Structure 1
Amino acid sequence: MSPHHSNPSSGPDGPPSKRPADPGHETDPALVEFAVDLADHEVRRRAHILEALGQDWDPIEVLSGEEAAYDLLYSGLDEEQQRLYENLVKAGVLPERGSGRAAS
């Protein structure tokens, strides 16, 4: 196996002295640019998530359950709570639901 010799003074962008320096930072010719492509890691991460969810995971059922939970959360509000809810919807903090009024 041959030894690896890196030459930090040359790279895909040319010698460091030809690269534009960041304002306020000195250019050190011993430093090299380092980049990592995380695309492969992201694909693996998503595959692990789907594996953990299992094959019986039903996103439509989950969303329906969330909607039912929100309906329950905002049901039976008194006048002041309803006013606050409407103000939060108007301000864009909460999404508008149904007729714009919390569920009774």
Structure 2
Amino acid sequence: MRQYLLDEISRDDLPRIREYLDEHALASRLDDVWWVNLGDDLLGPVQFEHQECRPFRFAVEVGDRFVRFEFLIRSEKTMRCPCIAYATRQQRDFILAFADRLVERLSLRT
């Protein structure tokens, strides 16, 4: 799995990270996993055509001492479709900017 990983996070920061994600992402059915939806302006051509598969999103997972941002762009509606793919450059930039904002706003030291 391609991903961006922030590791060696202080355990004291984990509750603040979870709170931030509760405010800026959608909690999934899995503990410590959140979804961040992509706007239509970030969709690739196939994703844009697949109205029935929207919304598209990436996962953020909080672990014992890490936060993981997945580069796989998923559909909320289906598990297998050509529109599910690794992030484009523009989508990767969005994911990295989301991660950077989390680090900056919470003043995390990793």
The verdict on a shared fold, with TM-score over 0.5 as the criterion, is no
Give TM-score scaled by structure 1 length.
0.23
Higher relative contact order (CA 8 A, sep 6+): 2
Indicate the structure with greater strand content. Answer: 2
Indicate the structure with greater helix content. Answer: 1
